Amino acid sequence: MEKKQISQYELLRSGIDNKTLHHIKNGYHITTGTLEKLCTALKCRPNDVITFVKEK
């Protein structure tokens, strides 16, 4: 959000609700639908916002 200069309000307008934003900010799981909305709003690819961490 900071790099793209997009506010939380703009994400809310793109269809991502407050609860989902809370989950994103705190590292909770999100759906692929939410990931799609996030990438559309930020004009980026999924790899730009998520990383894969293999559990031990």
pLDDT tens, N- to C-terminus, the chain (56 residues): 888 888 888 888 888 889 988 988 898 888 999 899 889 988 999 998 888 888 88
3 inside domain: no
Count of structural domains within the chain? 1
Residue 34 forms part of a structural domain: yes
Residue 43 lies in a domain: yes
The pLDDT value recorded for residue 11 is: 86
Q: What is the pTM of this model?
A: 0.74
With beta carbons less than 8 A apart as the criterion, state whether 31 and 24 touch: no
Using alpha carbons only, give the angle 8, 52, 39 rounded to the nearest 5 degrees: 35
Residue-number span of the structural domain to which 40 is assigned: 8-49
Q: What is the pLDDT of residue 45?
A: 94
Position 51 scores a pLDDT of 83
1: in domain? no
Residue 2 domain flag: no
Give the CA angle between residues 6, 41, 43 to the nearest 5°: 95
User: Is the residue at 23 inside a domain?
Assistant: yes
Distance, CA of 43 to CA of 27 (rounded, Å): 21
